[in-house]
Structure 1
Amino acid sequence: MALSAKEKLFHKILTHYAASPSGFTAQDCADFMPVNRSVLSHYLNRLCDDGQLSKENTRPVRFYVRQNPSEMSSTSHLVSKREDVFQNLIGAQGSLAEAVALCRSAVDYPGEGLPVLISGESGVGKSHLAMLIHRYAVERGVVAAVKPFVELNCADYANNPELLSATLFGYTRGAFTGADREKRGAFDEADGGFLFLDEVHRLSAENQEKLFLFMDKGYFYRLGDNRTRHPASLRFIFATTENIDTVLLNTFRRRIPVRVTLPNYLSRSLTERVAHVSHFLQQEARSLRRDIHLDNSLMHQLVTSPVRGNIGELKNQIKVMCASAWSDRREAEVISLRSAQTSGETLVISARQPGNAPDASIVIPKAMHDAVIFREFCHSGNVLLLNRKMEQLLTSVSGIMAPDAIYSGYLWQNTMHAINELEIQTGIPCGQEIRKAVWLCMSYALNTPHQPDAVSELLNISDYVSGKARLLAEECLALLAKHVVNQPLPLLMPLLSCAFHTQAGEDDLIQGIIVSHGRSTASSIASIANQLTGGYYFKAFDMPNATSTREIIDLLITHLSRLRQGAGLIILVDMGSLKEIYEEIKLHLHGELLVINNVSTAMALDIASRIQEQQSMEAIIEETKGAYEVEARYYAGMQPGNKIIISCISGEGISRKLKDIVQRYLVQESIDIITMEYDDLKWKITRADPALNGTRLIITTTDLEAGYIPLISVEQLIKEKTQVLKRDYFHGLLTDGGLEPMVEEVVKLFTVEGVASRLNFLNPVVIIDEVEAVIKQYEAFYKIHFESYLRINLFMHIALMIERVMVNNGVRQREEAQLTPEQTAFVAVHDTFFQALNRKYNITLPLTEVLMIYEIMEPWIAPDALS
């Protein structure tokens, strides 16, 4: 049955304003409903009479979506507050809150609900959300528990729309060759329940038309019979990875009022990414019945690195890692997962931990229903009491979280890294209670929406804290952004200021600042002075090399507003006009000012000691006159040379090709290019072998520390900016204009462009992505990362192999070969990694082709990884 004008208007309202707490006006609806204002008001008032909307008699009148006539949330006019299946969805109260609200409204809508279209990249959880919608409908009683959830992937039938039509609607006897009986379709199977059509953009225009006709009229025809109507009652969920405005017919698109977009993995908040990784690890721990010990650096890699397959691929990566580690040591009591660059710190995932055990940083917002705790803390500064109250709330709310479990996990460890660095920079020791307070306050702020009024109130209450405590809080916030999560957390400023007040002590009579050019020069000098004197006497500012004196002055003026007025100020700088700095800063300072150039560690330590002794500014000025003399001596250094070394870990072949490329662009023939075995080069660098004297540059395929000799990896050569390459590595070595074409040749050597030129009919972009997924599974299984040239070799071979097998079934001369134990082990895991490719292209790889892949990888696979 066609939708009435009133129903169409309500569908539009759900799409645009279902989750809007501020509601909407009649004028807001004029953009998507081409009728005059009086007609709109009539429809809106009728929807209010029907219980689907409510209104407030303001001017203009504001309308709100209601869940049902008797229930309207104070914070949302859409979301039911009772617990349901969505509560355990990671992000349901965060990045997916709006999506969940729309899904609930689609199910709760009177009648047969509303169709839902879920869009998002592959692997973001569209299928999982669809199943949750079905479970929610069963919970609410709008769909019987015995009614099915039928899933159909339209991509499987993209090249045969008639077969898809038969699969959806069924067919009659004789409808096509081989149709010897009548057969029911997905519509029959889903009758009374849900039909989930994944990759709906692969539906042909004809099938889209059949679908929206059913949505309008409530019946369908089987393939081969245009007379017999078959009524059905079902709810639709659609999913797509494409732009719905370009891949779906307008007539079809207009019949789907509820549209949900799911974010990709890296767009999710840090706590949600950590929760996903922890959840998948817990699943594996329970499945394998082993505790999992996870290296902290590997956890960092999992939550910060982009995942092409998003959450779905993340789950597969974790499963492969755990399966590989379990297979290597089946008798071990725990499964140990390590990265190539281990940090030495371990996270423990318990096999006995309940599946939905909450993380402290996720639970805190649910516990903190009352802001009184924070107000009381800012009044008293009692860190011990704050921690005790927060712990009590956490353990009581979670019901299963022991006090010790609150202080564990990836985010906790990274927070401790930040506080350790804070101690190093400021010289202020942070005890265990301070560390707990920082963690608890940060976890709360991280998962709570910004509340400007609450922050303003706490800032007013904490006005008594010292300027030094505020500076400590700022330092801590910067380090939390560096180590934990880089997002504004305004609530932390008053809370951390109060937490550090006792530790920082009263403000000093003289305050110190170090400003120096370089990535960490000022910080290094200040941290040494602060640590050795045991106090926070110097604030450091690390400035980029291109920073001007004017920029330094502006930065200092901004900083002065946060300092105690009337105190003396000593500024140590490495360069710049002292007169210009002095004259401008003096205008913004109510105390005495001393600016000293050519800062050094000895100078900073001396002045920090004098500030600690509470010497007057006059005394410090008098004592520092002529105290910091510069000593200079000349030592003969390494003789200049004219030699470039090229070394590749895979051997001489790649080295020679690189040499040929570089040789063509040298500025002079007298520059020698030497290829050297990787191990030989590494040995010579370690022992400072004289054979390296005179080396202008080293080019390698892997990173290596070469001391005083400039060294650049191929990856860096390809990615680095041209001006940096000219300045830092190739100055005086290459002809004018020679750098860019040289890099282009290197790129051609180390990229997969060769694949496209050799494929006949497969889409090179698509097949390369699919092959990359296979290569990643091999890397995860064997716990290695294939170098770029090996990856390119595998890209080419596997892509061409797929095309070869599709055309002529591939190479088969070794089908009866006797396999070695290593080959047998390789073949045993091969099917798992190629499962998606085999299914998509409907192929089965012959044994000979599998062995050819093995021979390419064999030199890089450790022997014990195959056993």
Structure 2
Amino acid sequence: MAQNTKQVILQELKQRTKEFVFTNLISFTANEISEQMNVSRSLASYYLNDAFKEGLIIKINSRPVIFLDKEALEKEYRIKLEQLEFYDLDEFKDYLQTHATIEDAYEDIVGAKRSLSTIIKQINESLVYPPSGLPMIIFGEKGTGKKTLVEKIYRKNMKNAQFSKNTRFIHCELSKNSVAQSRLKLFGNGDQPGEIDKYEEVVLVISRLQFSDQLFQEQLNRIIESKKNTKTRSTIVRLILLSDKNPEDYLEDTLIRNIPVFVRTPSLAEKSIEEKEEMIIAFLKDEAKKIEKQIFLSNACLRALVSGEYEDNFIGLRSTIQLMCARALQDYKDGSNLNVHTYHLPKDVYRTLEITSNENVVMIDVENYSKSDEIEFVFDYFEQILKLFDKQNLIEELSNDAKRVFDLLIEYLSFKHRIQPESIQDIETSLALVLDAIGKHKYINLPVRISNSLAKLLYIDDMYTMSLKEWESKNKSEIEKAIARLKNDFANEYRLMREIAKTIEMNLEIPLNQMLQIMIVIHIHYYNLQAAHRDIFGLIVCHGYSTASSIADAVNTLLSSYVFDAVDMPLDTTVDEIKEIIVERLSDLQKQNKVIVMVDMGSLEKLGKSLNEMINCTVGVINNVSTRLALNVGNEIMQKHEIETILEKVSDDSKASYTIIESKKKDTILFTAEDGVHLAQRMRDLFAVSLPSDIDVDLEVCDYAQLITTGSTYEKFAKSNVLFVTGTSSPNKEVDNFLALEEIISGKHIDLIMQKLNKHLDADGFNTLLRNLRKNFTLQNVVSYLTILNPEILLANVSEAIDILQMQLQQEFNGNILIGIYIHVCCLIERLVTKSEIKERAQLDVFVQEQEDFITRVKDSFQVISKRYNVEMPISEIAYLYDFIQADSLSKHDELLDE
């Protein structure tokens, strides 16, 4: 009897330990367990201490003493408990945080390693951000698992002792008619405290925020504001708001500005096939537990559930599965198994079922179902291919063996895995068109069945996206070894594969994984052996749009073979730049290959020696390329003559000569920024979208440091007709056609912009540009382009800081200087947040001595920003701001003197 009682007590403790969190420690005391088991406290304590001596449970000597089941705890925290007794809770927490494995902490959430990985990370980081978390909004369609995510992440953090043991989880779901009642219940009214005021620390979750009214939002705003000053509120509130709609459509601006974290959950339709199947199986396992039966699902039924569309996402999917199981239960009331077929599906889901004639009915055991078992067969074939590259066999033998394994894989997918033709019909047709176009253009043979094979492997990639990525990561070194071997021994085929991969991605928006790349190289080689054995590679390099391509296409067409590749160079490309591009193009060649480079300018003959040194192969350079000359060279290459013979023969036959024509200077607008090239690129992109159409003007970024140093002698001024330069700060007084970004925002020099672009735009074009500039170059839009931070919140904080700074300095900033300071400070904050602040400034020590008052005033003014973004204003950045303000003051002084 005593033994049985002890077993019952230990079993009860095991079940409780599985649900262990730091908020309900009383459940793990001898007194609580004795009451539950209806035994005396002394007897329960005796059995628990006896089990502790046996090494079955752990003991925490707090007051009262806490007992936890060792096995359940080890499984929950993925830990091997070497220590079984702890002085107090703090020691136990430290031990867990030091020894527990938490990288797979959310493995019970479907998609935790896939579509939800980034979202879980954002929610978790915001929730535990010191001292009391960051307020966040999680929004997405109804039924996308927002509340479930938050609950699981909260529980996991409680298990890992991230929160106080007194933390309480409070969830409130709003509705159209309950907003006022919920507000009073949560926040109280006057002297009557709300629910959140009853505890030291709470995680407050508000669902269906779209029903909130102005008063409710004002109360939330007060909660957030009080978080900034802990003296005004005793309760620590970690605030999470859940919304089925985009919060920007209905929330007050003041509340939006106070919430730094916005997270969107993906809909069911956005999930991969692999994740949908995992979710369906998880729901079916839940139903099996409820009805206490083992569920078997037909493979056709699973396909229909995956392809179905559901109202309210996972809610609709779960309802469909429950209805399906209920119908099946009517047919199979007796027995321990429940067989679910397609005729148990609701009509709207049944209609999505693809009809197939060559698939056998297979009943899937839901409880033991593991999708990874099926993909493992594919991985087995992949691994067989990779193992071939470990052997030191001849490349031709390796290629043939790899082709044979790929054929076996496709056969498996066709007859064992049974990929339905209807599932890949569209992608197969598109692939056939792409491969046919490339085959004709490059004069290579690519059989139609390659499109079918590729389509099947792409289908597998889509079904098992994350499993495939995990496998590729695990086998990264072996895959890279295989690709390096192919790149070296099958250089031409590898180059063609890259073009095929690029074309497929550009037209079908499907990237090819590395195993598919290996497959394409192997197949190109297998079906084009004659071309593969050619050891001279031809390359035509010309300045101008499509010049080299036109010559190469014409010659390849006349010879019916892919002899020449082409490089089209912009007219202002330097010799060094040409050399870099050619080297990059030829880097895939085997060392024993030889290259004939045909160029359009005699000065490029000198490339030969440097190319030879950089790519370590024999290089011949012919100048003054023409279609006729290239045809002669191509014919000689096809005859497999030696490179010396070819060069001598075509030189004797050709009366080639050349003339160097000075290229016309191109109209150009330059963009620069003292914060770096990336900021200048964002300015350029914003100006580009403002243009009404493609005009013959280059939009280029230039290095701010070089402009400071060189001024009007900057190389771009010599090579291009620079219409004007624009940026966040004037780099050099010698650059007389500089327009500050703030002047464009204020509209001060719109006439000058129009004048510079006069020959490129008609009247309608001018009106469109003017309209777009006014729309795009608003202060908020410019800030959103120039920084990664939320522009509304950022500008609100910057505005507050600048207002304080003006009062501190007793100086009013007007017009362009105010806009300029806004832009500079916004960029400054981004630099601080991204830890890329300006660290150098000439005579910084002198500045500190002379401008102590200015430094103090700036730091005081920027306290609100420092607290919000958790950054400190370094002296170098304060000096930078001082220089900008002083530069404007000097500019105004000069203007007064000129008057």
Relative contact order (alpha carbons < 8 A, sep ≥ 6): 1 or 2 greater? 1
* TM-score between both structures, scaled by the size of structure 2: 0.41
- The alignment's TM-score, normalised by the length of structure 1, stands at 0.42
* Structure having the higher Rg: 2
